[in-house]
Amino acid sequence: MKAFAKWITSPRNMGSATATFRRDLRTEKSIEKAEITASAMGIYALYVNGGRVGKGVLTPGWTSYRHRVQYQTYDVTALLTGNDRIELGLGQGWAVGCLGWKNTNHYYADAASVIACLTLTYADGSVERVATDTDWEVYTSQVLFSEIYHGETVDRTAPIEYIGKAVLSDVETELIPQVGEWITEQERLAPIEVIRTPKGETVVDFGQNMTGYVELRIQAPRGSRVVFHHAEVLDRDGNFYNDNYRSARNEMTYVCSGGEDVFKPTYSFQGFRYIRFAEYPFDEVDMNGLRAVAVHSDMKRTGYFRCGNEKINQLYHNIIWGQKSNYLDIPTDCPQRDERLGWTGDTQVFCRTGAINYDVEKFFRKWLGDVALEQTPEGAVKGIVPTCLSVGDTYISAAWGDVACVVPWQIYLAYGNRELLAENFPMMQKWVDYLHSTGPAEYLWLGGVHYGDWLAMDGNSERCHGATSNDLIASAFFAYSTELLVKAGEVLGKDMTAYRALYANVRSAFRAYFMENGMPKESLPLTEPVSEGATPGDRFRRGMTQTALTLILHFGLCDENERAALAAKLVGMIRENGMRMTTGFVGTPYLLHALSENGYPDVAYALLMQEKTPSWLYSVTHGATTMWEHWNSLKEDGSFWSTSMNSFNHYAYGAVFDWIFGVACGITPVESAPAYREVRIEPHPDRCLGFIDTSIDTRNGLIHLHWYYKGDAVYYEIEVPQGVTAHLRLPSGYTEALQGGVYHFAESSCEDQK
Between CA 555 and CA 475 the distance in angstroms is 11
Q: Does 339 qualify as catalytic in the annotation?
A: yes
In the list 343, 600, 628, 641, the residue contacting ligand BGC (rule: CB under 6 A) is 343
| Residue 220 one-letter amino acid | A
Complex with ligand BGC: residue 245 or 451, whichever CB lies closer: 451
Interhelix angle for 344-357 vs 310-326, to 10°?
Answer: 120
Minimum distance of ligand BGC from residue 642's CB (angstroms):
12
Tell me whether the omega of the peptide bond preceding residue 386 falls within 30 degrees of 0, making it cis.
yes
* b (16+ CB within 10 A) / e for 570-599: bbebbeeeeebbbbbbbbbbbbbbbbbbbe
What Å distances lie between residue 49 and 25, 37, 53, CA to CA? 11, 16, 10
DSSP 581: -
Stretch 433-472 residues interacting with ligand BGC (CB under 6 A):
451, 454
In whole angstroms, how close is the CB of 465 to ligand BGC at the nearest point?
9
Q: Per-residue contact track with ligand BGC, 151 to 180, x per CB under 6 A? A: ------------------------------
Contact window for ligand BGC (CB under 6 A) among 35-43, 312-320, 321-329, 332-340: 332-340
Nearest to 377 by CA among 461, 434, 312: 434
Interface region with ligand BGC, contact rule CB under 6 A, candidates 121-129, 209-217, 284-292, 341-349: 341-349
In DSSP notation, 271-306 reads EEEEEEEEE-SSSS--GGGEEEEEEEE-PEE-EEEE
Smallest separation (angstroms) from ligand BGC to the CB of 201: 28
Q: Which is nearer to ligand BGC, 499 or 540 (CB)?
A: 540
3-state SS record for 664-687: HCCEEEECCECCCCEEEECCCCCH
| Among the listed residues 731, 580, 754, 579, the one whose alpha carbon sits nearest the alpha carbon of residue 663 | 731
One residue of 87, 181, 261, 333 binding ligand BGC per CB under 6 A: 333
Least distance from ligand BGC to the Cβ atom of residue 103, Å: 15
Q: Which neighbouring-strand residues pair with 744?
A: 717
Give how far the C-alpha of residue 50 lies from the chain's centroid of Cα atoms, to the nearest Å: 34
The burial class, CB within 10 Å (0-12 / 13-18 / 19+), for 162 is exposed
Q: What residues between 627 and 646 interact with ligand BGC by CB under 6 A?
A: 645
* Cα–Cα distance, 64 to 94 (Å, whole number): 10
> Distance between CA 208 and CA 301 in Å, rounded?
19
Find the shortest distance in angstroms from Cβ 647 to ligand BGC. Answer: 6
When asked if residue 339 is in the footprint of ligand BGC (CB under 6 A), the reply is yes
Catalytic residue (one of 147, 339, 361, 483):
339
528 lies in the site for ligand BGC, by CB under 6 A: no
Residue 155 or 339 with smaller CB distance to ligand BGC? 339
Question: What letter represents residue 345's amino acid?
Answer: G
Amino acid letter for position 6? K
Candidates 361, 374, 629, 747; catalytic one? 629
Stretch touching ligand BGC by CB under 6 A, among 148-156, 170-178, 343-351, 689-697? 343-351
- Nearer Cβ to ligand BGC (20/545): 545
Residues numbered 382-411 forming contacts with ligand BGC, rule: CB under 6 A:
383
Find out whether 262 and 212 touch, Cβ atoms under 8 Å.
Answer: no
Number of residues that bind ligand BGC (CB under 6 A): 11
The piece of 240-248, 281-289, 308-316, 339-347 that touches ligand BGC (CB under 6 A) is 339-347
Stretch that binds ligand BGC, among 64-72, 333-341, 370-378, 557-565 (CB under 6 A): 333-341
| Type of residue numbered 206 | F
Residue 397 CB, shortest distance to ligand BGC, in Å, is: 7
Min CB(384)–ligand BGC separation in Å: 8
The 10 Å Cβ neighbour count of residue 737 is 10
Q: Which is nearer to ligand BGC, 644 or 672 (CB)?
A: 644
- The contact mask relative to ligand BGC for 191-230 (x = CB under 6 A, - = no) is ----------------------------------------
Residues 682-741 that bind ligand BGC (CB under 6 A): none
Among 417, 412, 562, 561, CA closest to 487: 412
CB of 613 to ligand BGC, least distance (A): 19
Tell whether residue 346 is a contact of ligand BGC (CB under 6 A): yes
Picking from 635, 694, 697, the residue whose alpha carbon sits closest to that of residue 666 is 694
- Distance, CA of 739 to CA of 748 (rounded, Å): 24
User: Which of the stretches 7-15, 322-330, 338-346, 549-557 binds ligand BGC when contact is defined by CB under 6 A?
Assistant: 338-346
Contact between 358 and ligand BGC by CB under 6 A: the answer reads no
Q: How far is the CB of 588 from ligand BGC (least distance, A)?
A: 13
Point out the residues that are catalytic: 339, 629
Q: Which residues bind ligand BGC (CB under 6 A)?
A: 333-334, 339, 343, 345-346, 383, 451, 454, 645, 650
